[in-house]
A and B are shown apart, each in its own frame.
Chain A
Amino acid sequence: MSTEENANSEATLTNHPAAESSVGAGSLAPPGAPSIERRQRPRPKISTTPPVPPPPPKLEDYEAIIGKPELDDLRFLARQLRGKTVKMVNSTAVGGGVAEMLNRLVPLLNELEVATKWEVITGGNDFYEVTKGFHNALHGGEYVVTQAVKDIFLMYNEQNRQRMEFAEDLFVIHDPQPAALIRSKERNRGRWVWRCHIDLSNPHPEVWGFLRPFIDQYDAAVFSSPAFSRQLAIPQYLFYPCIDPLSEKNKELDESVVAKVCEDFGIERGRPVITQISRFDRLKDPVGVIQAYKLAKKYVDCQLVLAGGGATDDPEGAAVLQEVMDEAGDDPDVIILNLPPWSAIEINALQRASTLIIQKSLKEGFGLTVAEGLWKGKPVIGGAVGGIPTQVIHKLTGVLVHSVEGCAYQIRYLLTHPEYAGQLGKNGREHVKENFLMTTNVKRWLLLFQILLGTSHPLPPEES
């Protein structure tokens, strides 16, 4: 994004009328609720340039979160791999969830003395056009696989293969873009893992038919959900996507930071806040969230925060933002924030200030914003799609909904049953701690490496 675009991508707060008049509770307020003073909200104050990222955390920084015994387990597993080397390969060094995850995973593995290199493949625009087409087609979209398309994919993979060395003991190739690097397996020792971060449940047959012969040559594949996997001849492992509890988006915040962000965005701390964090995309159903809020608001007082990005540099995002603003009308309690990509602290604060978190997606990948909300101990209402049911175990770590009406009911119920809501939030945080933290993923990689290299021998169930 250019500097000029950055300057224009300042967070916007769009739906608040300047009218200063007081309005009665009217149809949007619960019976007996005090009237709400309609006011012009302050323009949010967000830096228009990205802050300098803090240095990555050290392993010992996680001790306060996961405990010493868990860290000791990691160190023990890593000791079994001492002297082994790992290479991770993906297609981008910055931006996107994979690069974000590797930025944390690779330093931690190295700190554990499992020497790990991260390399990024290169390619021209034609390569990235092809791989973007593949990506969409693997999610079920249409695509025409011509010979030219195949040639471009293979040519860049071959160029990268010639450029790179493959002397390590373990190779982890992320996503389809560099999948054909597996051709180096024949010439070299080492075990190869294909880490697929995308949903392969309904792939375009031709694209999958082209990629599958490469995948079959790997020693193992790793998926983010059983629902995203394919029947393959090689073993398939389950690694949930994870959040870093020490990242800007998830670390503990001083109450003063949360209060400041709320003040900047015009959020009243004394009243319930329900929040959906997601880019302005129809599949996240932001309009449905407003409709659910309106239904719930007939009975319970609350404010709704819809915060996300994607409306500045994406024409479709801008159109969705407009739809959201239209649906919100002039309700001063609907706060719509189009945030720039470097708003991690603000998102963290918004989640922490929330009474409920909503992720009412109609279609979803894994939906890690759910884990972010759960980690902050918040009750979460999630659409029952994609990876959300893995994170939200219905009525145990949150609630799942299938409709606007269901979402509205759960908002009402959770806002009026704070003890139950609190228990869901508490369970949800434990669920994340057990399954969706970066340290759990480090452990999974160490285990997989051990199993593939034969340095450990898993016990059969009756002996475990």
Chain B
Amino acid sequence: MATAEMPTVARRWARAPFYFNSAAHLIRIGREKANNLAELLDALKLCPDASIFQHTFQTLREHHFIREGFSNDFAHWAFAACNEVGLAERLAGIDIREFTSIAALRQRLLDIVEAYLKQNPRARDRAAFEPFYFSVSEVVVIPTPFVARNLAEFAEGIRQVSLTSIHFHFIDARLRLKLNSNDFSLWLENELDVGRLAERINRIDIYTATLHDVRRAILRVVQSALG
């Protein structure tokens, strides 16, 4: 779709370049474990922030190839191990893009599980088919050779970098920025003054798309601006 900012955008140089990074993750096994929903509730209160991050943000990277039916580890466990479909649906409805702090995300998880157990007290101590093991991800940032100084170079970077890099900038970034945005959109808006392009990229749905799809969707938006 053409917009007013497009005729000149292809020739525009960014005030500051965009450096594409990637990340490597190592999973550390946590101390908390839940055998039923009551234990899940307790563990959700006690587990480190890194565990909440792992089972919501990071798990999307680990399962990036699934287009539908996967939202976060808690929802999947409620469905597959506890057979609590109603709870699973509510947990799966959490959109991590709405959260700019782990504390707020943790509280949302607690609210959902508490409300469900209030309505379904018998589900509280029913043994899960397999325990939920909390873990944390240790993340090391890795630079890549890709740098963008204009929209064409940005498109080339998006084309070339790994899916881990896409996840790092597009999904992980929200917590780092503490904004409902992502690294790509922020750079496009602040350094290239293409706010509408940035907004269109920010609206790409990560829950109905694989990371391959996200890459393709970003490229489509950028290509439409490049003409």
Contacts and interface: CB of A to CB of B under 8 A. Distances in A.
Interface string B23-35: 1111111010100
Interface in A425-452: 426-427, 430-431, 434-435, 443-444, 446-448, 450-451
B172 interface: yes
B176 interface: yes
Contacts of A462: 49, 53, 101-102, 175-176, 178
Interface stretch (A11-19, A68-76, A244-252): A68-76
A225 to B, nearest CB: 8
Given A451-B138, A458-B140, A72 B145 contact: yes
Interface residues of A, number: 45
Q: Which of A77, A397, A458 has the most CB of B within 10 A?
A: A458
Interface stretch (A231-239, A295-303, A353-361): A231-239
A270 interface: no
A73 B142 contact: yes
A461 B105 CA distance: 13
Interface stretch (B109-117, B118-126, B158-166, B184-192): B158-166
Contacts of A304: none
A459 B141 contact: yes
A384 interface: yes
Given A69-B161, A237-B26, A227 B133 contact: yes
B70 interface: yes
A237 B29 contact: yes
B162 A73 contact: yes
A155 interface: no
Contact of A461 (B49, B129, B140, B178): B49
Interface stretch (B36-44, B61-69, B148-156, B197-205): B61-69
Given A69-B22, A72-B145, A463-B176, A226 B101 contact: no
A229 interface: yes
A73 B101 CA distance: 28
A69 B52 CA distance: 28
Interface in A386-425: 389, 393-397, 400
Contact of A447 (B24, B130, B143, B162): B24
B172 A77 contact: no
B48 to A, nearest CB: 8
A460 interface: yes
B23 A464 contact: yes
A455 to B, nearest CB: 10
Nearest to A434: B62
A223 interface: yes
A464 B167 CA distance: 11
Contacts of A72: 144-145
Interface in A67-88: 67, 69-70, 72-73, 76-77
Interface in A59-113: 67, 69-70, 72-73, 76-77
Given A73-B162, A427-B66, A435-B62, A237 B28 contact: yes
A277 to B, nearest CB: 24
A444 B139 CA distance: 11
B130 A227 contact: yes
Contacts of A451: 26, 138, 140
A456 interface: yes
B80 interface: yes
A461 B53 CA distance: 6
A114 to B, nearest CB: 15
Interface in A338-389: 384, 389
A431 B130 contact: no
Contacts of B28: 235-238
B5 to A, nearest CB: 30
Interface string B73-87: 000100010000000
Contact of B162 (A67, A395, A397): A67
B135 A226 contact: yes
The residue among A426, A427, A448, A451 with the most chain B CB atoms within 10 A of its own CB is A427
B131 interface: yes
Contacts of A461: 49-50, 52-54, 57, 102, 136-137, 139, 175
A169 B54 CA distance: 30
A426 to B, nearest CB: 8
Which 7 A-B residue pairs are closest in the complex by CB-CB distance? A430-B65, A226-B133, A69-B162, A461-B53, A458-B138, A464-B139, A238-B27
9 contacts: A73-B22, A73-B24, A76-B142, A227-B130, A389-B80, A431-B63, A451-B140, A456-B140, A464-B172
Given A77-B140, A447-B26, A464-B175, 4 more contacts: A384-B129, A395-B69, A447-B25, A464-B137
